[in-house]
């Protein structure tokens, strides 16, 4: 599909990946797909009643998009294993990245997870975590990262990316440019780091370079304020980090997404319209809003307004939509 065929309303909606309530297809979910024209949906434990119900839900979502003349949906989930795994038994449970001993473990996780996600109708996994968790600090990512060595993180994450995507599941490397140095949880508040480019280049960025080299489908930005990179905006809202560093300097031309804009690092500091302005300026493709609220309508309206009033914004939106459509074309039949 060509982004030139999309309406302005579709261009706006394709930039949104939205959470929802309920374990089955319902009128509000239909509204998010048909009226807000959402490009994707993200699943949480609150949406999952079991394998059969989940597969039915995903089929119904894709059918709704198809009947509404929409591109197919990204249907995403956080299934890292360990402390972050939305699918519970009878789905296979893995101990998580920190417990993986070697590449055999990484491949087994990716192989089994890809099969279970595919059978459920899920096409995107918000994994692998490519953060490096230094030994010398109480990293907030210690229980979720592959470890403290950038080379090991890069190697393990690359195996997961290759195996997930070989089996038809889009992988998302997170949380760029790395949150392993933080001790404060961005779900609760805004972490601030003074780490400079030289340190990041020699450590935190190495796994993301590997992910890019392995053709990772998506990169998720962190809600961390890196003062030496951008003294005003966290990575998820920063043109200096998302556009200039990730796209231009590191050459990533895939789909870039924010972390959840409902998280404490963002909510209460910046209103939704401001977040959308920054996301557009930073060439971030997908804005994640993971809890059902009026922020979804506000986000859609803010993007639509920008596209209706700014010719530069509409050109950039078509480029972003093309990245999204190209990725959907590769992975969603």
3-state helix, strand, coil in the chain (%, to 5): 45, 15, 40
The pLDDT score that the predictor gives to residue 185 is 80
Q: Is the pLDDT of residue 3 over 90?
A: no
Full set of structural domains in the chain with CATH: 3-331 (3.20.20.300)
Of the candidates 230, 259, 260, 285, the residue annotated as catalytic is 259
Whether 250 and 206 have beta carbons less than 8 Å apart is answered as: no
- For residues 298-322, average pLDDT: 92
Q: What is the CA radius of gyration of the chain?
A: 18
Task: Report if pTM > 0.95.
Answer: yes
Q: Is the pLDDT of residue 248 over 90?
A: yes
| Residues facing residue 192 across a β-bridge | 225
The pLDDT score that the predictor gives to residue 48 is 97
Q: How confident is the model at residue 4 (pLDDT cuts 50, 70, 90)?
A: confident
DSSP H stretches of helix in 121-171: 150-166
Rounded distance, CA 160 to CA 174, Å?
A: 13
- For residues 255-260, average pLDDT: 97
Q: Is the pLDDT of residue 27 over 90?
A: yes
Residue 187 is among the residues annotated as catalytic for this protein: yes
Of the candidates 2, 187, 253, 310, the residue annotated as catalytic is 187
- For residues 139-159, average pLDDT: 96
SS3 (DSSP) at 50: coil
The pLDDT score that the predictor gives to residue 292 is 96
The pLDDT score that the predictor gives to residue 195 is 87
Q: How confident is the model at residue 189 (pLDDT cuts 50, 70, 90)?
A: confident
- Kindly report, residue by residue over 109-136, the tens digit of the pLDDT: 999 999 999 999 999 999 999 999 999 9
- For residues 18-24, average pLDDT: 97
The pLDDT score that the predictor gives to residue 222 is 96
- Kindly report, residue by residue over 62-84, the tens digit of the pLDDT: 999 999 999 999 999 999 999 99
Residue 259 is among the residues annotated as catalytic for this protein: yes
Q: Which two structure tokens, joined as six digits, stand for 324?
A: 């999204």
The pLDDT score that the predictor gives to residue 29 is 97
The pLDDT score that the predictor gives to residue 140 is 93
Q: How far is CA 258 from CA 220, 224, 289, in A?
A: 6, 11, 9
């Amino acid at each position: 599909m060509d982004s030139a065929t999309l309406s302005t309303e579709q261009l706006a909606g394709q930039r949104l990946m939205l959470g929802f309530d309920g374990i089955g297809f319902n009128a509000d979910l239909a509204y998010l797909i048909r009226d807000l024209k959402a490009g994707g949906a993200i699943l949480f434990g609150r949406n999952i009643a079991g394998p059969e119900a989940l597969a039915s839900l995903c089929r119904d979502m894709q059918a709704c998009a198809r009947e509404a003349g929409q591109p197919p949906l990204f249907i995403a989930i956080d299934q890292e294993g360990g402390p972050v795994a939305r699918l519970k038994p009878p789905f296979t449970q893995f101990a998580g990245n920190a417990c993986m001993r070697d590449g055999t473990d990484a491949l087994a996780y990716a192989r089994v997870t890809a099969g279970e996600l595919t059978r459920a109708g899920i096409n995107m996994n918000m994994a692998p975590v490519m953060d490096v968790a230094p030994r010398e600090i109480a990293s907030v990512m210690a229980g979720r990262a592959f470890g403290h060595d950038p080379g090991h993180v890069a190697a393990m994450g690359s195996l997961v990316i290759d195996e997930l995507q070989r089996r038809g599941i889009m992988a998302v490397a997170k949380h760029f440019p790395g949150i392993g140095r933080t001790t404060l949880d961005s779900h609760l508040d805004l972490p601030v780091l003074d780490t400079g480019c030289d340190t990041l280049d020699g450590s935190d960025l190495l796994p993301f370079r590997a992910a890019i080299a392995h053709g990772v489908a998506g990169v998720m930005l962190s809600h961390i304020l890196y003062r030496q990179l951008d003294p005003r905006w966290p990575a998820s809202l920063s043109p200096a980090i998302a556009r200039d560093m990730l796209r231009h300097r590191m050459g990533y031309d895939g789909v870039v997404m924010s972390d959840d804009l409902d998280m404490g690092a963002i909510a209460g500091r910046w209103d939704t319209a401001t977040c959308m302005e920054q996301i557009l300026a930073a060439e971030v493709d997908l804005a994640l809003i993971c809890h059902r609220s009026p922020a979804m309508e506000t986000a859609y309206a803010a993007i639509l307004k920008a596209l209706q009033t700014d010719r530069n914004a509409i050109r950039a939106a078509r480029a972003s939509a093309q990245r999204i459509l190209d990725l959907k074309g590769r992975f969603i039949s």
